[in-house]
């Protein structure tokens, strides 16, 4: 295996094709968890092995820079070895999240990623097709799967900042999928990135005064499914912004006012549709931050990172088990897919 040029097949991981086929047929979704450090990776591996869930390890370009791209490839290799050492036959895809250039996607294909996203959705439609097609042509040579995007999510998409969401136009999807050859399509139906998915003015309040966000546009999702039947759809910005973590963070000195996410029931509904991949980053960040703040708040004399990163990792692992079981429906599907 050369340092700078390695296929994911040499590492022993898988692309997303078979996972999505099974998810579509079984009416569940594959969780895509973002990571950039060892504790997150341990939590994802432990949580998915414990719940026997197929999964996608997802890395943004910022995370790739943070973790170091050479180390990252060995982290993925290590994750597979760890899974085997736990007696599991589970496997996973290593995916570039929100790739914004052909060069970045190519670099990931060449350094062991099994799947890449080219996010050209902020470009005009024809330019989006052209750039996405270019990535697909390169990725195909190594049997790497490609996710494209149509429509723009509000919030921050790595380096791409969108003030307002622009829902995916069902009229565009058939042509985009045919012209680009993508393996999956990320759509915009009302989710957004980060912990502040909706402004309070967009929400109503329940009897306890808790913000209730507007529902996702399932009508658009259904129309898209009608236009491209059986085609894998991806939902970004799918964290629920779990209230218990926001409360702990605020109790121990944080300041996350009016943070609001996507209710779990809506994600569950999406997971039974053509949505085959659900992206979750913020909930993991919140879970870890909550436990780090709590531990340091309660034990001000503690300065061994293992003493606060350990509880943070355990909390993230528990969150992942819970998501796989009750939101994605992916728990227990590992054996079906990987034997
Ligand atoms: O969609 C964006 C992901 O949450 C990654 O965020 O660019 O801060 O790593 P990041
Ligand atoms: P959240 O910010 O809702 O976790 O979304 C993550 C995501 O879409 C990564 O691509
Ligand atoms: Zn995203």
- Overall average pLDDT of the 249-274 stretch: 97
Most confident region among 1-15, 149-163, 229-243 by mean pLDDT: 229-243
User: Tell me, what's the pLDDT at 2?
Assistant: 58
> Ion ligand 3 — residues with CB under 5 Å?
236, 279
The pocket around ligand 2, CB under 6 angstroms, is made up of 34, 97-98, 193-194, 236-239, 279-283
Write down the mean pLDDT value for the chain: 95
User: Are 170 and 218 a contacting pair, CB within 8 Å?
Assistant: no
Looking at 97, 100, 281, 283, which residue is catalytic? Answer: 97
157 pLDDT above the threshold of 50:
no
Residue 35 is assigned to a structural domain of this protein: yes
pLDDT digits (tens, 9 = 90+) for 189-219: 999 999 999 888 889 999 988 889 999 999 9
pLDDT digits (tens, 9 = 90+) for 165-197: 799 999 999 999 999 999 999 999 999 999 999
23-27, 113-117, 155-159, 274-278, range with the lowest pLDDT: 155-159
The proportion of the chain whose per-residue pLDDT surpasses 70, expressed as a percent, equals 96
Q: Specify the number of domains making up the chain.
A: 1
Residue 326 is assigned to a structural domain of this protein: yes
Dihedral class, residue 324 (left if φ above 0, else alpha if ψ from -120 to 50, else beta): alpha
User: Tell me, what's the pLDDT at 1?
Assistant: 54
Residue 1 is assigned to a structural domain of this protein: no
Q: Is residue 97 annotated as part of the catalytic site, yes or no?
A: yes
User: Tell me, what's the pLDDT at 196?
Assistant: 93
269 CA from centroid of ligand 2 (Å): 18
Residue 172 is assigned to a structural domain of this protein: yes
Residue 61 is assigned to a structural domain of this protein: yes
Residues 280, 142: Cα–Cα separation, whole Å? 27
30-39, 154-163, 165-174, 302-311, range with the lowest pLDDT: 154-163
* CA of 262, closest atom in ligand 2: 3
* CA of 191, closest atom in ligand 2: 3
Q: Is 147 close to ligand 1, i.e. is its CB under 6 Å away?
A: no
**Of how many residues is the chain composed?**
339
User: Are 101 and 122 a contacting pair, CB within 8 Å?
Assistant: no
Q: Tokens 């039947």 — which residue?
A: 229
Q: Which run of H or of E encompasses 78?
A: helix 69-85
User: Tell me, what's the pLDDT at 208?
Assistant: 86
Residues 50, 88: Cα–Cα separation, whole Å? 9
User: Tell me, what's the pLDDT at 209?
Assistant: 84
CATH number of 110's domain = 3.20.20.70
Residue 3 is assigned to a structural domain of this protein: no
State the pTM of this model. Answer: 0.96
- Overall average pLDDT of the 63-80 stretch: 96
- For residues 211 and 272, which has the higher predicted lDDT (pLDDT)? 272
Pocket test of ligand 1: the residue of 66, 98, 122, 280 to mutate, having most ligand atoms within 8 Å of its CB, is 98
Domain that holds residue 14: 8-338
| Other C-beta atoms lying within 10 Å of the C-beta of residue 303 | 9
CA 179: distance to chain centroid? 25
User: Tell me, what's the pLDDT at 200?
Assistant: 87
User: Tell me, what's the pLDDT at 3?
Assistant: 61
Ligand nearest to the CA of 237: 2
Residue 2 is assigned to a structural domain of this protein: no
228 CA from centroid of ligand 1 (Å): 28
User: Tell me, what's the pLDDT at 158?
Assistant: 43
**b/e map of 314-324 (b: 16 or more CB within 10 Å)?**
bbbbebbbebb
């Amino acid at each position: 295996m050369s340092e700078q040029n390695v296929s994911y097949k040499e590492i022993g991981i898988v692309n997303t094709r078979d996972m999505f086929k099974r998810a579509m047929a079984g009416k569940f979704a594959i969780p895509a968890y973002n990571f950039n450090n060892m504790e997150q990776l341990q939590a994802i591996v432990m949580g998915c092995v414990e719940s026997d869930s197929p999964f996608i390890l997802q890395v943004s370009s910022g995370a790739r820079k943070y973790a170091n791209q050479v180390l990252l490839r060995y982290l993925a290799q290590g994750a597979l070895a760890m899974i085997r050492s736990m007696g599991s036959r589970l496997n996973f895809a290593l995916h570039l999240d929100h790739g914004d250039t052909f060069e970045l996607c190519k670099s990931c294909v060449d350094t062991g990623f099994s799947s890449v996203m080219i996010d050209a959705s902020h470009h005009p439609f024809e330019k989006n097709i052209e750039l996405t097609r270019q990535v697909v042509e390169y990725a195909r040579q190594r049997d790497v799967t490609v996710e494209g995007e149509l429509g723009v999510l509000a919030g921050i998409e790595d380096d791409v900042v969108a003030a307002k969401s622009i829902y995916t136009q069902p009229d565009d999807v058939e042509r985009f999928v045919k012209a680009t050859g993508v393996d999956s399509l990320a759509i915009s139906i009302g989710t957004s990135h980060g912990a502040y998915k909706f402004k309070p003015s967009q929400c109503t309040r329940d009897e306890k005064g808790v913000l209730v966000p507007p529902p996702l546009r399932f009508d658009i999702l259904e129309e898209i499914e009608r236009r491209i039947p059986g085609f894998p759809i991806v939902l970004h910005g799918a964290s629920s912004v779990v209230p218990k973590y926001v409360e702990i963070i605020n109790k121990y000195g944080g300041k996350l006012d009016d943070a609001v996410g996507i209710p779990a029931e809506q994600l569950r509904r999406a997971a039974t549709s053509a949505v085959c991949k659900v992206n979750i980053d913020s909930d993991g960040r919140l879970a870890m931050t909550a436990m780090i703040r709590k531990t340091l708040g309660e034990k001000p004399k503690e300065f061994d990172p293992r003493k606060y990163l350990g509880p943070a990792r355990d909390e993230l692992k528990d969150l992942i088990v819970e998501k796989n079981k009750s939101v994605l429906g992916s728990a227990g599907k590992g054996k079906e897919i990987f034997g």
